[in-house]
Amino acid sequence: MALSLVMATATWAASGINYDGTTLSLNNEFTRSQCGTAYKSVMPEISGLACSRTTAGYLWAHGDENTGSNKKIVAIKPDGTLAMTVKISGDPGRDDWEDIATGVYDGKNYVFLGAFGDNNLEFKDNYYIYYFEEPAISSGTKTVSVDVIHFGYPDSKAHNTETLMFDNIEHVFYISDKVKSGICTLYSLPFRTDYGSNKQTLTKVTELGNGSKFHTVTGGDITPDGRWMAIKSKKQVLLWERQGDESLSVTAQHEPVQIAAYEEEDQGESLAWLDNSTFYTTSDSKSDTPIYQYTRPNPSQGLDEVRTNSELNGRKVLIDGMLYILRDEHIYTLQGTLFQ
């Protein structure tokens, strides 16, 4: 099993989009290639992608149509071939799923589904995150019952939303609304398993850009180690780097950079980090559509130089896209369980 510490150099170009009164720098590290096809026969109109954390090398995907027997997600390989289907039960019937994320909490891997699309701004406070423990990916079909987090926005108004991200460091959701003509806003909500049926209220983090050059936010993800956050609109992908032990809420208020390699995808709504060096995107399309892979050399600073785990006093490392702690030549999970 290869051990990959995250190291490389950064190269920036001189110009980019106007984000918030500032012309952004371009990140030229990434290269783009088509790695597969999102087949309509497997999952039409993919609006969310997330990398599996229980079974390396697979992606979870869901579409827009989630009613009746269509309430499901699928596990696919990056080439688009189907591995497993997971049917969803126990949800309150909110059908417009717009994003999916994976994360670790209290020693367990979870899948999170954002049931919060609202194109007609009619639901007002009836927004949900469904979650369940991530199963190992094998083959065939299985059914899972979901737990539910009910939430609303601090202004008590309706918001259309397509972006759900999870930070493994602070165990916090980051959610961006989607505004077609105006400024999109990033919000946060701590993940807990004891919310029950009580409605939670998001906390406003920051506005995203000036609303003229970066708007209509359609997806995003946070790397497993919490170091990088990428948020995409229809035309751009912006990248934030966490500095030391700061909260990602602070990171989000720093000036981002624009990923130069990204090319606009028709109805592009999905972004999923494998690790610090690779992410995937695809489009919400009724027909077969490409799955793209963006890769770069390993980013510059070793994770141990950025952040250490106080309990284990060790270095955070990535192994096959999964985050672990390296201490005294032993490898541990984030929760302190001996892995190797």
In the chain, what are the domain boundaries? 12-332
Q: How far is CA 12 from CA 28, 106, 112, 239, in A?
A: 6, 38, 34, 12
Task: Supply 56's token pair.
Answer: 């390396």
Q: Do 274 and 321 touch, CB atoms closer than 8 A?
A: yes
Q: Do 17 and 214 touch, CB atoms closer than 8 A?
A: yes
Q: What is the pLDDT of residue 310?
A: 43
Taking 70 as the threshold, does the pLDDT of residue 14 lie above it? no
Looking at residue 278, its amino acid is T
Beta-bridge partner residues of 308 = 315
Task: Supply 267's token pair.
Answer: 């109805």
- Which residues, in sequence order, are CB contacts of 117 under 8 Å at separation 6+? 64, 96, 97, 98, 160, 161, 162
Average the pLDDT over 179-199 and give the result. Answer: 94
CATH number of 12-332: 2.115.10
H helical segments located in the chain: 248-251, 303-306
Taking 50 as the threshold, does the pLDDT of residue 33 lie above it? yes
- Tell me the pLDDT tens digit for each residue of 290-310: 999 999 987 754 444 334 444
For the chain, give the percent of residues with pLDDT over 70.
84
Q: What is the pLDDT of residue 220?
A: 97
Taking 80 as the threshold, does the pLDDT of residue 314 lie above it? no
Task: Supply 36's token pair.
Answer: 């597969």
Q: How far apart are CA 325 and CA 316, in angstroms?
A: 5
Least confident of 8-22, 95-109, 145-159, 231-245: 8-22
Q: What is the pLDDT of residue 336?
A: 58
Taking 90 as the threshold, does the pLDDT of residue 15 lie above it? no
In this structure, the number of other CB atoms found within 10 A of the CB of residue 310 comes to 8
Q: How far is CA 57 from CA 125, 139, 231, 277, 322, in A?
A: 36, 14, 22, 14, 11
Q: Do 34 and 322 touch, CB atoms closer than 8 A?
A: no
Classify residue 308 as exposed, middle or buried by CB count within 10 Å of its CB (0-12, 13-18, 19+): middle
In this prediction the pTM is: 0.85
In this structure, the number of other CB atoms found within 10 A of the CB of residue 119 comes to 11
Q: Do 119 and 131 touch, CB atoms closer than 8 A?
A: no
Q: What is the pLDDT of residue 194?
A: 96
Looking at residue 192, its amino acid is R
In which band, very low, low, confident or very high, does the pLDDT at 180 lie, cut at 50, 70 and 90?
confident
Mean model confidence pLDDT for the chain: 86
> Which of the 8 DSSP states describes residue 118?
-
Q: What is the pLDDT of residue 62?
A: 94
b/e map of 220-234 (b: 16 or more CB within 10 Å)? Answer: bbbbbbbbbbbbbbb
Q: What is the pLDDT of residue 317?
A: 67
Least confident of 10-14, 49-53, 179-183, 192-196: 10-14
Least confident of 89-103, 167-181, 311-325: 311-325
Least confident of 20-24, 59-63, 266-270, 296-300: 296-300
In which band, very low, low, confident or very high, does the pLDDT at 316 lie, cut at 50, 70 and 90?
low
Give the CB-side neighbour count of residue 334, counting CA atoms within 13 A: 22
